Amino acid sequence: MNPRLHITVMFGGPSAEREVSLRSGQAVASALRSLGHSISELDPMDLNWQLPEKTDAVFLALHGTYGEDGAVQQRLEELGVPYTGCGPDASRVAFDKVLTKRRLVQVGVPTARFEAIDSPSAAWPAGWKPPVVLKPVRQGSSVGLQFVEHPNQWRTALAESLRFDSEVLMEERIDGRETTVGILDGQALPVVEVRPKKGAYDYGNKYTSGATEYFCPAPFDAATTERIQSAGLRAFEAVEGRDYGRVDIMVRPDGEPVVLEVNTLPGMTETSLLPKAAAAAGISYAELCQRMIDLALRRRRVNRRR
């Protein structure tokens, strides 16, 4: 029996992913209430937020800027309150796609070829051939994602992607199967394969009911599954992640995994990818939320003993 706690769920916030975060937070709050915990809800629309008194732990269901970028995590560290997920430094690195890529390259985790671009007037980079993908460096949920099939699409796509950040990641478009690996307490969960019914796995296909099919465990042979999970764990370790996260990975036709990015506060609606993977491992949604809280409290106990 878990002790009854006063848990503050932080969700919403000012980012471009506010709507998704609201759904995550409401699902988490409902699950934690079902376990008997006392729940406060906090929507940090500005920097002047205050935690409710006697908060035992904070469940972070924020996404995007001022949620996944380490800012909230740093404030909670200063307050000395245990919170779910990665610390400030890992959050800052993982939220920045270029910093993440550099970490992956340093430790030899396979990732797509990339280049950073910070000017709307930048010409098509020399030595590149389409198709390529453009992504705002510091956004999530496929916000600002653009596909460039021909150089004559370059200017429009670059301008659109730069609407969401001052820097854009240009990345080779990988042909293959799209997967994601959930990480929980140092273990890789069953692989999820994502198959949009039409087009790419963009914001619309992600959040439109019925637009995408999900397969978990993904239908790969055992050896390929192990390679995908290993790449996910290594990528999470490369950004010094802790407790839980999700790593998005393309799998080439020959079975080679290619890491795209690391998510330190993945979606937590009951149909999100991390809960899907946990369910395939026999972990219910409510149990997953409880384990995330347990990991935060365990870390506090360890720190007190030092």
CATH number reported for the structural domain that contains residue 13 in this entry: 3.40.50.20
- Quick one: pLDDT at residue 306? 47
Whether 269 is covered by a domain: the verdict is no
**b/e per residue 163-175 (b: at least 16 CB within 10 A):** ebbebbbbbbebe
Q: What is the mean pLDDT of each run of 10 residues along the chain (306 residues)?
A: 90 90 97 98 92 97 90 95 97 96 97 95 94 90 86 95 94 95 98 82 54 91 98 98 97 96 93 95 98 94 56
The Cβ of residue 119 has, within 10 Å, a number of other Cβ atoms equal to 11
Answer yes or no: do 37 and 152 share one domain.
no
Phi/psi at 176 (5° precision):
155, -160
Which structure tokens are listed for 246? 């999700």
Find out whether 209 and 186 touch, Cβ atoms under 8 Å.
Answer: no
Split into its structural domains, the chain has a count of: 3
Q: Which of 26, 41, 34 is nearest to 4 (CA)?
A: 34
Residue 257 belongs to domain spanning: 93-110+175-264
Query: Tokens 């330190």 belong to which residue?
Result: 264
Task: Please give the pLDDT value at position 65.
Answer: 82
Are residues 199 and 104 both part of a single domain? Answer: yes
Q: What share of the chain is helix, strand, coil (3-state, %, to 5)?
A: 35, 20, 45
| Residues annotated as catalytic (active site), given as ranges | 17, 141, 207, 246, 248, 261, 263, 267
One domain, residues 159 and 12: no
User: Is residue 16 situated within a structural domain?
Assistant: yes
Strand order across the beta sheet in which 6-10 lies: 38-42, 6-10, 57-60
Please check whether residues 205 and 163 belong to one and the same domain: no
Question: Is 292 domain-assigned?
Answer: yes
Same domain, 99 and 152: no
pLDDT at 9: 98
Please give the pLDDT value at position 140: 72
pTM, whole model, 2 decimals? 0.91
One domain for residues 61 and 23:
yes
Let me know if residue 18 belongs to a domain.
yes
Identify the pLDDT of residue 3. Answer: 85
- Cα four-point dihedral sign 165, 167, 170, 174: negative
Instruction: Let me know whether 98 and 199 are in one domain.
Output: yes
